[in-house]
Amino acid sequence: MKVTGGVMRRRRFKRGITGIEAAIVMIAFVIVAAALAFVTLNMGMFTTQRTREVIHRGLGEASSALEVDGSITALTDSDSEVYVVSIPIKLAPGREVVDLRNEKVTISLKLPDVFFEDIHKGVKHLDDLGLSDTNTSAIVSAIWATAPTAPEAYIVFIKDNVKDTVLEFGEKAIILIHLGSNTLDAYNEVKVEVRPPEGAPLTVARTMPAILPPETAVDLG
């Protein structure tokens, strides 16, 4: 009986050890599975974040950081020919800021018979020109005392929160293009491309109306 009792105790002891080992193995499996699940979840979140960043960057590159803010106007001379084109611009929705300096922004001009690669000459503010209103003719006279030979463009801030060269939300500016010795007649087309540091270029194309009154501002839409 004593021997039998000893055998029973040893069997119970072995069963106890086996149960503990099984529990340890089970805990190890649970820990490994939890670690793998954490790694998988973390990689999934990282991949999702990277995908979101790539999509956001792609959309940013595909859309322009600038947009036209209102009607484009043209000034005519005494011969009823267009010699100045004015394009109002503002920051596109979702954009933060755009530096408008000629070192950062390129402005190209396409006329019926000639193309000018970069005519951007700089950024100005109304108070720099001694002006307080946004009369286009007055701004043109303040910038160009004499007409340039080749086309030139200046970006003029007409509403700015801080006096600098950066266009921010709520600010407005105009791209003022003097055609120089070139002019536009009725039915002629002008195309302007404004390429900011990031994003797609802003392209503006207009056809001159059939009737161009002399020495006036013409709404090009």
What band does 57 get if pLDDT is binned at 50, 70 and 90? Answer: very low
Q: Which two tokens stand for residue 58?
A: 């792609």
In this prediction, residue 6 carries a pLDDT of 54
User: How high is the mean pLDDT of the chain?
Assistant: 84
Domain boundary assignment for the chain: 1-62, 66-219
Q: Is 80 left (phi over 0), alpha (psi -120 to 50) or beta?
A: left
b/e per residue 33-72 (b: at least 16 CB within 10 A): eeeeeeeeeeeeeeeeeeeeeeeeeeebeeebbbebeeeb
In this prediction, residue 56 carries a pLDDT of 43
Lowest mean pLDDT among 23-37, 87-101, 150-164, 203-217: 23-37
Rounded Cα distance between 206 and 209, Å, is 9
The secondary structure of the chain, three-state, reads CHHHHHHHHHHHHHHHHHHHHHHHHHHHHHHHHHHHHHHHHHHHHHHHHHHHHHHHHHHHHHCECEEECCCCEEEECCCCCEEEEEEEEEECCCCCEEECCCCCCEEEEECCCCEECCCEEEEEECHHHCCCCCCHHHHHHHHCCCCCCCCEEEEEEEECCCCCCEEECCCEEEEEEECCCCCECCCCEEEEEEECCCCECEEEEEECCCCCCCCCEEECC
Give the mean model confidence (pLDDT) for residues 60-65.
Answer: 60
How far, CA to CA in Å, does 103 sit from each of 8, 99, 198?
92, 9, 13
Residue 17 has pLDDT above 60, yes or no: no
Give the mean model confidence (pLDDT) for residues 126-130.
Answer: 91
In this prediction, residue 11 carries a pLDDT of 52
Residue 3 has pLDDT above 50, yes or no: no
- Using one digit for the tens of pLDDT, what is the confidence trace for 83-99? 999 999 999 998 889 99
For the 66-219 domain, the top CATH level (class) is mainly beta
Rounded Cα distance between 143 and 57, Å, is 38
Residues 6+ apart with CB under 8 A from 73: 85, 86, 136, 217, 218, 219, 220
What band does 55 get if pLDDT is binned at 50, 70 and 90? Answer: very low
pTM, full prediction: 0.72
Give the mean model confidence (pLDDT) for residues 95-112.
Answer: 95
Lowest mean pLDDT among 123-127, 159-163, 201-205: 159-163
Contact assessment for residue 110 and residue 191, using Cβ atoms and an 8 Å cutoff:
yes
Residue with tokens 């009737």: 211
In this prediction, residue 113 carries a pLDDT of 92
